Chains A and B, each alone.
Chain A
Amino acid sequence: MTPQEIVERALAGPVGAGRAVLVTQTSEAVLRWANSTMTTNGHTTAQDVAVVALEAVEGGTAVGVVSSGAPLRDTAAVDALVDAARRAARAAGPARDVAPLPEPTGDDPGWLDGAVETSIGVFGGLVEGLAEVLDRPQRHYGFASHDLSTVWLGTSTGVRRRWVQPTGSIELNVKTPDLDGSAWTGRSTADFTDVDVVALAADATSRLDWGRRRVSLPAGRYETLLPPSAVSDFLLMLAWSMGGRPAQEGRSAFAGPDGPRIGERLTDRLLTLASDPAAPGLEYAPFVAALHSGDGVSVFDNGAPAQRVEWLRDGSVAELAYSRPEAAEFGTAFAPPGDNLLLTGGSAASMADMVAGTRRGLLLTCLWYIREVDPETLLLTGLTRDGVYLVENGEVVAEVDHNFRFNHSPLDIVRQATEVGATERTLPREWKDWFTRVAMPPMRVPELNMSSVSPSR
């Protein structure tokens, strides 16, 4: 059965209190290399069909979500999935957060189109360059991934939407032959036509040269230059903590004595942190497709138009995430979490410009193993990774011969930044498995708390 046939069959006949059907076809090609040789490579395809069934039950509306990764060969298989979802809803009993399913907002001209698939061939140009890179004297490690997911969403209110989401990324970790020095670079891409692996490897390799002079530094608070990747890892944690309900209920860093801290100024810099489905090159589905409900997210929002949401605007807390049921409950506006994150409002300065303007400080490469320590202050811990450099009088003068564990809140990163540079597309080292579409500036933080020394390199 085609995805469209599955959707129409699952929506045929009585639909209880409402129904949404999502068919997702995914194809993924991956290359992985370590110790300058290929390791695990593959090409996978998968389909997932999910039925969100709404049923009127005593006490309200119940919802059941049933998804299957098995092929649906005939209408009986679709009917069985629908029945399972209806039974699940009735068994679950009334749901806490309920709203009418959204009405359609127009026709989707791509609705009848098929899936778009990737293949191992997407790496054609990359393989050629990689062969050259792997023959170099350094030790090379890395991963390239290309994923094409096509989703078809239909609802009992008449929504019919299709979206093809490309997600690609490449990371290179280059080490000196004795494994004593290490550098990293990575970027996201939609189709790999814009990836020059030889240039990326050259960039990482050039930073290994900074390790010719090594220094040891004690734990402490340092002026620190955060590159866009590190900024993105901090600010994703900030964005993911901006749920409206926890703030309303007093159990969030964004909870204040009189309610959510909307309007609170974090910085005089006119920084805006936003998610925008139409951001050029970083687009995501222009409609909500949700398979579960939680803070800020609801299966009752399936088909609602996605929209630009500004979490911080001109340096102040502007919006928190609310699903439509939550927005109704708290008397505020629908603000769906997005699948990209953009921080804008800095200067035109590049990282190189910011290094040139530094009297003494640390230049980081990326961050790793970031976890929340205190939800009340949003204190995070984590580590620097693959290159910490000492900058003196406008130049990188040495590599620090160890890493640091930091303890710092992303709220304080925004509050304390003394310089914010030009926004560029980057790859979050820590969170890229879940989130690749980010554009961030480099930032200068005057006293980042490097809580202890990690001897690891």
Chain B
Amino acid sequence: MADRTDSERIDPAFRALPLAQLADAALGRARELGAEHADVRVERIVAQSVELRDAGVTDVVDSSTEGLAVRVLVAGTWGFASLVELTPERAAAAAERAVGVARVLAPLARERVDRAAEPVYAGVEWCSDYAVDPLTVPTGDKVALLADRSRCLLAAPGVDHVEAGLAVVRENKFYADVAGTSTLQQRVRTAPSLTATAVDRDGGGFETMSSLAPPAARGFEYLTGTGWDWDGELARLPEWLAEKAAAPSVEPGRYDLVIDPSNLWLTIHESVGHATEYDRAIGYEAAYAGTSFATPDLLGTLRYGSPLMHVTGDRTVPHGLATIGYDDDGVATGAWDLVRDGILVGYQLDRTFAPRLGLDRSNGCAFADSPHRVPLQRMANVSLQPDGAVDRSTDDLIAGVDDGIYVVGDRSWSIDMQRANFQFTGQRFFRIRGGRLAGQLRDVAYQALTTEFWGSLDGLGGPSTWRLFGAMNCGKAQPGQSAAVGHGCPSALFRQVNVLNTRAEGL
């Protein structure tokens, strides 16, 4: 997108803040106090959440977070402070407080922080790709749209309840550091949700079916047909729900699985995305998010999966939830390989950890979720690439399975702290017999070890099956931070995966 367009779209109210004066005051004071590095972020995050139950409004919440953060390195030790008052005097005070934190903690530091170099980007601006800022759309229009869709579902036979929601975010970030980089950026996120419930009062059970529409770095146009076929999905949700409620319970055992992008993205997130975070792999999240089986000594040799497996990291794909122009270290973002031909070949990095891996440049994964949090290495868009040679459809993959299950949509997920043992459920599980779908199953979960699972990858859909999904709420770090992240993938075929019956598990 052209810079001129980006600049024009950045919220004038944010641009009107005294950003340069705040940066000068904070960075100048940090320098005076002896910081060898200092950066300042000014952020404003505006969000709205709308929720309806059975077509009636239950909750409309508008919120905004604003503040200024100063991060310093003093004698190789980090110090950080944030506050909400956006005046040069308070910016300088934040710098003083950050230096104070670093000096208090310096005696406990056993390592000196060394950061990778990065070119200086002075006065650059970036804005994400969207048509309609979702924060500018009247609340009444959002309520009307969600109520209309709720009523449509409630009118269908077998639907007893409908929950509908919409969360939208506009994030403005200004970053400046003592090297001379200053960036001004804006991006938006839109997360719709829609779940229909069928209650079996006589039998005592209930079942749900949710829209598969993922959160996306798109504007309000996403709710009205750009990037998602709402009409098509709404028309079929009730029949899918009814079929699922009446479906037979799965016989546990090993099955060939054709996994739709609407489910596979989350498996990629958990088993590849987190496992290739370098800070985790060397222990910096050991007490909380965990570590990784994919340790740096295995870089270039670890067989992660079958030779079909090509996973990339990027912060550039259009509408990716982790996409941005410059990260919170002032690094220009890009794309790179994490797994190539089934072998671990890369990690996600920030400027603190790139040198630890022996690299002279970060790949741009620093992110803080608010002005009151420290930037960390956070997940890029981590995506499985499709088969570039043959554009197989999902039906083609299903046709190659004699006895299996087609998995659609995400639901429950869990993986261990080194990212090996995982268990996932989904929205819909279709039995595959003789290369054709043969109705839904209930109570399905698949459970595997990461390398065993990816080693069983035996077929990839082509570019026409590749879809971008993602999450708004990936958690990491202490204090906890939440990040939005996108994952693209094609449909894929995995052989002989262990399938559980979740009712039998509970007996």
- Report whether B506 and A374 are in contact in the complex, using a CB–CB cutoff of 8 Å: yes
Interchain CA distance A291-B445 in the complex, whole Å: 36
- Check: B232 CB closer than 8 A to any chain A CB: no
Considering the complex, give the chain A residue whose CB is closest to the CB of B69: A44
- Report whether B108 and A373 are in contact in the complex, using a CB–CB cutoff of 8 Å: no
**9-residue interface stretch from B49-57, B177-185, B299-307, B320-328:** B49-57
Residues A105-150 near B (CB distance < 8 A): 120, 127, 130-131, 134, 139, 141-143, 145
- Report whether A382 and B414 are in contact in the complex, using a CB–CB cutoff of 8 Å: yes
Contacting residues, chain B, for A41 (C-beta < 8 A): 78-80, 101-102, 104-105
- Check: A95 CB closer than 8 A to any chain B CB: yes
- Check: B413 CB closer than 8 A to any chain A CB: yes
With A69-B66, A257-B201 already in contact, the answer to whether A40 and B80 are too (CB < 8 A) is yes
- Check: A190 CB closer than 8 A to any chain B CB: no
With A38-B108, A407-B505 already in contact, the answer to whether A70 and B66 are too (CB < 8 A) is yes
- Report whether A69 and B376 are in contact in the complex, using a CB–CB cutoff of 8 Å: no
Contacting residues, chain A, for B418 (C-beta < 8 A): 454-457
Q: How many residues in A have their beta carbons less than 8 Å from beta carbons of B?
A: 99
Interchain CA distance A399-B57 in the complex, whole Å: 53
Interchain CA distance A173-B208 in the complex, whole Å: 39
Contacting residues, chain B, for A30 (C-beta < 8 A): 478-479
- Report whether B140 and A92 are in contact in the complex, using a CB–CB cutoff of 8 Å: yes
Interchain CA distance A42-B78 in the complex, whole Å: 9
- Report whether A33 and B108 are in contact in the complex, using a CB–CB cutoff of 8 Å: yes
CB distance from A224 to the nearest CB of B (A): 16
**9-residue interface stretch from B18-26, B81-89, B125-133, B428-436:** B81-89
B53, B83, B199, B478: residue with the most chain A Cβ atoms closer than 10 Å: B478
- Check: B228 CB closer than 8 A to any chain A CB: no
Contact residue among A47, A143, A376, A381 (Cβ-Cβ distance under 8 Å from B288): A143
- Report whether B506 and A46 are in contact in the complex, using a CB–CB cutoff of 8 Å: no
CB distance from A457 to the nearest CB of B (A): 7
- Report whether A171 and B287 are in contact in the complex, using a CB–CB cutoff of 8 Å: yes
Interchain CA distance A251-B201 in the complex, whole Å: 10
Contacting residues, chain B, for A385 (C-beta < 8 A): 416-417
Contacting residues, chain B, for A36 (C-beta < 8 A): 110
Contact residue among A32, A35, A37, A69 (Cβ-Cβ distance under 8 Å from B84): A69
- Check: B10 CB closer than 8 A to any chain A CB: no
**9-residue interface stretch from B114-122, B419-427, B456-464:** B419-427
User: CB-CB contacts of B139-154 with A at 8 A, as 1s and 0s?
Assistant: 1100100000000000
Contacting residues, chain B, for A390 (C-beta < 8 A): none
**9-residue interface stretch from B234-242, B278-286, B339-347:** B278-286
Interchain CA distance A377-B205 in the complex, whole Å: 10
- Check: B7 CB closer than 8 A to any chain A CB: no
Contact residue among B44, B100, B421, B500 (Cβ-Cβ distance under 8 Å from A456): B421
The interface size bin for chain B is 35 or more
Contact residue among B85, B284, B420 (Cβ-Cβ distance under 8 Å from A34): B284
- Report whether A374 and B56 are in contact in the complex, using a CB–CB cutoff of 8 Å: no
- Report whether B287 and A293 are in contact in the complex, using a CB–CB cutoff of 8 Å: no
CB distance from B306 to the nearest CB of A (A): 20
A41, A42, A131: residue with the most chain B Cβ atoms closer than 10 Å: A42
User: CB-CB contacts of A337-374 with B at 8 A, as 1s and 0s?
Assistant: 00000000000000000000000000000001111111
Contacting residues, chain B, for A33 (C-beta < 8 A): 108
Considering the complex, give the chain A residue whose CB is closest to the CB of B422: A405
Interchain CA distance A171-B59 in the complex, whole Å: 36
- Report whether B139 and A120 are in contact in the complex, using a CB–CB cutoff of 8 Å: no
CB distance from A208 to the nearest CB of B (A): 14
- Check: A401 CB closer than 8 A to any chain B CB: no
- Check: B502 CB closer than 8 A to any chain A CB: yes
- Check: B138 CB closer than 8 A to any chain A CB: yes
With A36-B110, A293-B58 already in contact, the answer to whether A69 and B478 are too (CB < 8 A) is no
Contacting residues, chain A, for B100 (C-beta < 8 A): 120
With A142-B287, A377-B503, A456-B416 already in contact, the answer to whether A47 and B61 are too (CB < 8 A) is no
Interchain CA distance A141-B374 in the complex, whole Å: 18
With A139-B283, A249-B199, A381-B412 already in contact, the answer to whether A35 and B111 are too (CB < 8 A) is yes
Contacting residues, chain A, for B412 (C-beta < 8 A): 371-373, 381
- Check: B197 CB closer than 8 A to any chain A CB: yes
- Check: A285 CB closer than 8 A to any chain B CB: no
Residues B36-74 near A (CB distance < 8 A): 44, 49-51, 53-54, 56-67
- Check: B109 CB closer than 8 A to any chain A CB: yes
- Report whether B78 and A373 are in contact in the complex, using a CB–CB cutoff of 8 Å: no
Contacting residues, chain A, for B79 (C-beta < 8 A): 41-42
- Check: B97 CB closer than 8 A to any chain A CB: yes
- Report whether B59 and A293 are in contact in the complex, using a CB–CB cutoff of 8 Å: yes
- Check: B204 CB closer than 8 A to any chain A CB: yes
- Check: A213 CB closer than 8 A to any chain B CB: no
Contacting residues, chain B, for A46 (C-beta < 8 A): 65, 67, 82-84, 372
Contacting residues, chain B, for A120 (C-beta < 8 A): 100-101, 104
Interchain CA distance A28-B62 in the complex, whole Å: 24
A-B contact count (CB 8 A): 284
With A46-B67, A372-B412, A433-B480 already in contact, the answer to whether A294 and B97 are too (CB < 8 A) is no
- Report whether A37 and B111 are in contact in the complex, using a CB–CB cutoff of 8 Å: yes
With A251-B161, A382-B414, A405-B416 already in contact, the answer to whether A94 and B56 are too (CB < 8 A) is yes
Contacting residues, chain A, for B57 (C-beta < 8 A): 62, 92-96
Residues A1-60 near B (CB distance < 8 A): 28, 30-47, 50
CB distance from A321 to the nearest CB of B (A): 15
- Check: A324 CB closer than 8 A to any chain B CB: no
- Report whether B82 and A42 are in contact in the complex, using a CB–CB cutoff of 8 Å: yes
- Check: A160 CB closer than 8 A to any chain B CB: no
- Check: A66 CB closer than 8 A to any chain B CB: yes
Contacting residues, chain B, for A387 (C-beta < 8 A): none
Contacting residues, chain A, for B65 (C-beta < 8 A): 46, 69
- Report whether A383 and B59 are in contact in the complex, using a CB–CB cutoff of 8 Å: no
- Check: B363 CB closer than 8 A to any chain A CB: no
Interchain CA distance A236-B104 in the complex, whole Å: 37
- Report whether A381 and B204 are in contact in the complex, using a CB–CB cutoff of 8 Å: no
Contacting residues, chain B, for A75 (C-beta < 8 A): none
Contact residue among A84, A97, A130, A141 (Cβ-Cβ distance under 8 Å from B108): A130
- Report whether A405 and B283 are in contact in the complex, using a CB–CB cutoff of 8 Å: no
Contact residue among B83, B372, B416, B503 (Cβ-Cβ distance under 8 Å from A383): B416
Contact residue among A39, A377, A451 (Cβ-Cβ distance under 8 Å from B78): A39
- Check: B385 CB closer than 8 A to any chain A CB: no
CB distance from B470 to the nearest CB of A (A): 18
- Report whether A40 and B374 are in contact in the complex, using a CB–CB cutoff of 8 Å: yes
With A34-B284, A68-B63, A372-B412 already in contact, the answer to whether A44 and B82 are too (CB < 8 A) is yes
- Report whether A251 and B197 are in contact in the complex, using a CB–CB cutoff of 8 Å: yes
Interchain CA distance A368-B416 in the complex, whole Å: 8
B77, B290, B505: residue with the most chain A Cβ atoms closer than 10 Å: B505
A-B contact pairs, 26 of them (CB 8 A): A35-B110, A36-B110, A41-B102, A41-B104, A41-B105, A46-B372, A66-B63, A67-B61, A69-B84, A91-B140, A95-B57, A96-B54, A142-B287, A171-B287, A182-B286, A255-B206, A369-B416, A373-B505, A374-B443, A375-B208, A377-B503, A379-B505, A383-B414, A405-B421, A407-B502, A455-B421
6 tightest Cβ-Cβ pairs between the two chains A and B = A456-B418, A42-B80, A454-B421, A37-B110, A96-B56, A91-B139
Please give the residue numbers on chain B whose beta carbons come within 8 Å of chain A beta carbons, in ascending order. 44, 49-51, 53-54, 56-67, 77-86, 97-98, 100-102, 104-105, 107-111, 138-140, 143, 160-161, 197, 199-202, 204-206, 208, 282-288, 290, 293, 372-374, 376, 412-421, 423, 425, 443, 445, 447, 449, 475, 477-480, 498, 500, 502-503, 505-506
Please give the residue numbers on chain A whose beta carbons come within 8 Å of chain B beta carbons, in ascending order. 28, 30-47, 50, 62-71, 84-85, 88-89, 91-97, 120, 127, 130-131, 134, 139, 141-143, 145, 171-173, 175, 179, 182, 184, 249-251, 255-257, 291-294, 299, 368-377, 379, 381-383, 385, 403, 405, 407-409, 412, 433, 449, 451-457
Q: A39-B284, A66-B62, A455-B420 are in contact. List 20 more A-B contacts (CB 8 A).
A: A32-B478, A36-B110, A37-B110, A44-B81, A44-B372, A45-B83, A68-B63, A88-B60, A91-B138, A141-B283, A249-B199, A251-B197, A251-B206, A255-B204, A376-B206, A381-B412, A405-B447, A409-B506, A433-B478, A454-B420
